[in-house]
Structure 1
Amino acid sequence: MSAISFQHVSKLYQGARGVLQALKDVSFEIEPGEFFGLLGPNGAGKTTLISILAGLTHATGGQVRVHGYDVVSQYAQARRQLGIVPQELVFDPFFTVREALRIQSGYFGVRRNDDWIDELLANLGLADKANANMRQLSGGMKRRVLVAQALVHRPPVIVLDEPTAGVDVELRQTLWQFIARLNREGHTVLLTTHYLEEAEALCHRIAMLKAGQVVALDRTSALLAGTASTMLQFKTDQALPPALAAQARVTGRIVQIKAHDAAEVESILATLRQAGCKVEDLEIGRADLEDVFLEIMQADAPAQPASPRPARAESVA
């Protein structure tokens, strides 16, 4: 049985400008114990898919199951399987951190949970904030509390929607150490992130969404193996020759250009020499997940699949 199953999921919104199709026949499964990455640019449909999984919005078509429970017809059972860390900072300003976690435990009928709450507080760097009021915490601390709330009922499936957006390095390291431990203990993790180095380091498999469709789905290692294996990186203050500018990725002074083999590396360097382009800090390394992501996102979108059945669009407020 899959930990999470998305089968032909579509989502339509009816707005002033007509019908917007946020998701188009999305199908994939996540196995128990997997660390799975869901990547895509802003507006690709990642949060919509997670909202459907969480029961916060209903799919226009298709079916979603969590450990076999349908998220619509068996909502209560499905929701108990999930611990979701949302993008937004949502908190109740009238309770302390410990009180907030006890209340969250009560939502799931979990009693006498203080030992696990203490462990969460310790592992997420919140032990000294246990009796602090939520409104007194910094943004990073509130983010840690959101993670603790998602985990307080010991869910077998953990969903992290941009959990490290706008937080410091210390929280990232603390969070990933703890989540990696839970994954080793058998918890399934679904992660969305724009920090692709995190996805590359953590995820066993990755799905990429573009315009509401799955455009790539494979093991992380296979995705990395399927692109150019060499990346030429250097710094320059000069304009690149047109032949290279069209294929380069430029961030300030840093230039990255894909190369498939040593001959192509030499060709790039020769073109730079002929153009009189002075380079510094020249490095030759392997392509990473960011290179794969950009390559896939810049490719033409696949043809839209046929809808599994006619569906009514939902109005946008």
Structure 2
Amino acid sequence: MLSYLGWVAYLFFGYYIFRAVCHTVFHAYVYFYAPMKDLKKLAKTDWAAVTGATDGIGKQYAIQLAKQGMNLVLISRTQSKLDDVREEILKLNPNIKIETIAFDFTDTSPESYEKILRQPMKKVGFLVNNVGGVYEIPDRLHEVKGGLAEQKQVVDLNLIPAFCLCSIVLKYMKERGGGTIVNVGSIAGSVTFVYVSAYGATKTALEKFSHILRVEYPEVYIQHLTPGWIVTKFSKKMKPTFFDLTAEEYVKYAVKTVGWVNDTRGHYAQQLQFDIITSLPMWLQDFLMEKSLKAKREENVEFIRLRELQENNNVAKNGKLE
């Protein structure tokens, strides 16, 4: 009996070792050796749309798509910033077409999506759902600085744009027999990111949404992208590290995973970070995440203090806010 149980234990241990080795080898291939897929072929058109396209991951994704010869529909809130990004990208590839749409995603009315976004989205075969929001200062749910209004806005920004835009483009992708959607999630949806509870919950929902859509639309390639900390205005990360990447560095690797994997961390460093964290016992994950998010709270407070100081200096120097 003991001998039998010993063999069972060896088999289970061997199985998990085998899985770990396969996981490591496959992701090493995807991140370092796999050739870039033909994005136009995956899209079934030469048009891509990116939300939150004026900064961070969204902007860098637009740049990478432009380098692959994709025409772009850039969607963000501020027209002047869209114009700047459009001009910057056209310098990199003057042979593509770029449309811009100023759209405030805090407007959750279906009428706005129908009136402003449906028509230009009909031609889109590659959609990057990147727009989102999180608390400025992480805190316990009832102590969030902006109260219920900020919590609602976080939920709205992280879910409604992705739901509505997927609903719009999938109709036309299905008619064309294919397409590509990249839903930008967060590590906050996969581990216990305390003090940003609404944000983490919405990112968990987005991951499940992506999985369900793959079953409903097998002809469409749908990827769920799970970044960790990225050095952007959104995250308020001030300095890059081995794990905390610039958006440019992150997206250069993330775009290469399109067509290869359905769920990805997007970059080998953050893949390693994710694998280490999720291999730990849950109690230890929770302890480390709470400690990390407390430190993040202090970092955000300092970031906001420096930002306000700079704004005050600009007012004092120029008589206006720059």
User: How high is the TM-score relative to the length of structure 1?
Assistant: 0.30
**Structure number having the greater strand percentage:** 1
Greater radius of gyration (CA): 1
Q: Which has the higher contact order (CA 8 A, sep 6+)?
A: 1
**Structure number having the greater helix percentage:** 2
